[in-house]
Chains A and B, each alone.
Chain A
């Protein structure tokens, strides 16, 4: 059974950093591109970014709203994807979901598995 479990959320002050982790199981993690999607309280879904599999260079893509502040990485030996969030703003407050692309390593495409989400609150 495919499982994605996020961790690392919490309350953080504006301007500070936070790192989220996504621990995957039930599939060959290294074969898949992984993505992060967020949802502000009471709002819709916003794509944050994704990382391709090593077979596709392990490169990343980001939404304009987070580019230059957020970094996605992966450790295939541990089946973990990370979201490093720097220079956090109040508008980054959201539930952050780790997701898997249905179409393996290149990225892009529908998201067929989602974690339960972890709440990040940016507030002073």
Chain B
């Protein structure tokens, strides 16, 4: 199975900050990567797919980049609604795997 790692595991930031989360795959997954946002007690929400495509309805302050084994999720100007945990997910194979998550909390 392809292993996914994320860094940092926790990130403290303020409203208005630019935030970057990194996701790495144990082998090349081309651009087959998605990002999800999860708030406590809620289901995850798809933000980005195919590494850089914005899901419909997701604010444009979210962006994704990368290919191969290294990917980033960037929030250009952090908003109060963005404090949550973010997961990457590879779907290069029919055995998808998620990263361990990055919690973005208030500084």
Taking Cβ atoms with an 8 Å cutoff, the residues of A that contact B are: 44-47, 50, 61, 63-64, 97, 102, 107-112, 114-117
Q: What total of chain B residues lie within 8 Å of the partner, measured CB to CB?
A: 24
**Are B91 and A110 touching (Cβ within 8 A)?**
yes
Smallest CB gap from A61: residue in B? B94
B61 on the A face (CB < 8 A): no
Identify which of B46, B94, B98 contacts A45 (C-beta below 8 A): B98
A116 CB contacts on chain B under 8 angstroms:
42-43
Secondary structure of the B contact surface, majority rule: loop
How far, in angstroms, from A4 to B55 measured CA to CA in the complex?
Answer: 18
**Are B87 and A44 touching (Cβ within 8 A)?**
yes
A109 CB contacts on chain B under 8 angstroms:
49, 91
Q: Tally inter-chain residue pairs, CB-CB below 8 A.
A: 55
How far, in angstroms, from A97 to B44 measured CA to CA in the complex?
Answer: 9
**Are A114 and B44 touching (Cβ within 8 A)?**
yes
Smallest CB gap from A47: residue in B? B96
Max chain A CB contacts within 10 Å: which of B1, B87, B89? B89
List 7 additional contacts besides A44-B99, A64-B1, A110-B91; criterion CB under 8 Å: A44-B87, A45-B98, A61-B94, A97-B44, A102-B49, A110-B89, A111-B44
How far, in angstroms, from A115 to B42 measured CA to CA in the complex?
Answer: 9
B34 CB contacts on chain A under 8 angstroms:
110-111
Interfacial residues of chain B within 24-82, with CB under 8 A of chain A in the complex? 34, 36, 38, 42-46, 49-50, 55
